[in-house]
Amino acid sequence: MNDRNGANERWPEERFRHLRQMADPDIDEVVARYLKEQPDGSGPLELVKAVVEELGRAKREARAPSGEPPASTIFDALDFAKHLPGWGDDTELLAKGQAVFADYGLYQSAALFCKCLPMAYVEVSSAKVLAGVSNLATHSLTRRVAETGQMLVDVMGLKATGSLRPGGPGHTTAIGLRILHSFVRALVDERFGDHWDTERFGPPVNQELLLATIFDFSVVTWEALESMGVVLTDDQRAAHLYTWSVFGHLMGVEACRERPLTLDDVDPVSERLGRLYESSDEGRRLMARLLEEMEEFMHLGWRKLPRSLVHWVFRDAAHGADRVPELLGVPPAAWWFTALFSAARAAHRRPWLGRPVDGVVRWLMRRAGRHIVVALIDRHSGGQAAFRIPGELARAWRIRQSKTAVKTRELRATVRQKVRAPARKGLVA
């Protein structure tokens, strides 16, 4: 891992400019040909929905997308995407990478909401696509979040390295996302036309953003875990990044085409991606809606926990990421959490205080992560792309999925809504 200088040479400014202007020509050519052959009235939006439905069926039946078109038709044309890369068959590294999620999944669930998604919202072109195209296709922000959470489970949560092999859920998810991203580019072209600023943003879901996505689910997640009191070893980080690199290769990420990303790539890439952070109306709306959804999941007295956690995980973040809550208009943390911030900072100067405070923070993070996973299961366990977790994970995370447990949670949610309704009316008034 002593290739720092070589890593800097691999990531010159020119490479990022090239990645920003590059989409995924291999899959885009196949999708463009497919769209051209479709009858009038069958546009990208309808096909996005069809792909989501077929991918959901394929994952439930543990197979590649081979049912109804368009997913099956396009998948069959992707010979280059049906195999792992030559460097991507290290089962030991894959198992270690997946274990990071299995062992710390509740923390990563909190990290998904509190850091990974905000990092996507603070990049303007990503926010524009998420606020526009994704909503058109799903009409639900939490539906989109649930699909992202399911991706984490499919790739990382099964402790089975075969999940990234053809027919496995991780492999199906990667190829499905690649197809969906191509349809999104076609949909943006149809909806925005010349109004999309290609010179500034590059094509939608371009290679720079795809690289940022891989970093969000690896490097950004490690940083969030560390703020929660979970510090991964270099071996764990390297294995985790290797596993996401294999997924990235399948998903068409140019930076993962010839080799996996390594720990030496982390600093130069993170520094460059930090220059993308910018406030936008779309990003602020997405963040506000995400917080609203998250706060519905929280128990009485805990409503402001999500916004507080967002401030927590971004405190002292490197490469300008500490500005993300401000750029997205995140409301102030709860007063009691602000007090916890102060105690945590003081603990660095008083070691005897550090362990109790860290224990409280870790407990809060696990609790928030469990609330989030439970809410996604209860709200999205059915439908075209259901959110489900394996029984092994459910038991490890102490998540009950019986009909009685789900009904009990529904009653509690109803009580929370009734109790909080007067406060909402007062805010509106």
Helix (H) or strand (E) holding 243: helix 234-250
Task: State residue 428's pLDDT score.
Answer: 44
Q: For residue 27, is it within any domain?
A: yes
Task: State residue 134's pLDDT score.
Answer: 57
Q: For residue 2, is it within any domain?
A: no
Contacts with 190 (C-beta within 8 Å, 6 or more apart), sequence order: 43, 44, 45
- Number of domains making up the chain: 1
Q: For residue 172, is it within any domain?
A: yes
Task: State residue 71's pLDDT score.
Answer: 61
Residues 100, 106, 107, 111, CA torsion sign:
positive
**Can you name the residues that pair with 123 across neighbouring β-strands?**
277
Residue 70, helix vs strand vs coil: coil
Cis peptide preceding 70, ω within 30 of 0: yes
Give the integer Cα–Cα distance in Å for 209 and 15: 13
Give the integer Cα–Cα distance in Å for 273 and 36: 35
Tally: H helices and E strands in the chain: 23, 0
Other Cβ atoms within 10 Å of 350 Cβ, number: 10
Give the integer Cα–Cα distance in Å for 395 and 401: 10
Q: 396-412: per-residue pLDDT in tens?
A: 777 776 777 767 777 77
Q: For residue 429, is it within any domain?
A: no
Contacts with 139 (C-beta within 8 Å, 6 or more apart), sequence order: none
- Count Cβ neighbours within 10 Å for each residue of 310-347 and write b for 16 or more, e otherwise: bbbbbeebeeebeebbebbebeebbeebeebeebbeeb
Domain range for 46 is: 8-424
Helix (H) or strand (E) holding 362: helix 351-380
Residue 111 is encoded by which pair of tokens?
């990290």
Q: For residue 1, is it within any domain?
A: no
Burial class (CB in 10 A: 0-12, 13-18, 19+), 353: middle
Which residue numbers in the chain have pLDDT < 70? 1-6, 40-49, 51-52, 54-73, 75-82, 133-144, 146, 157-161, 344-357, 379-387, 401, 406, 413, 416-417, 420-429
Task: State residue 144's pLDDT score.
Answer: 66
Other Cβ atoms within 10 Å of 383 Cβ, number: 15
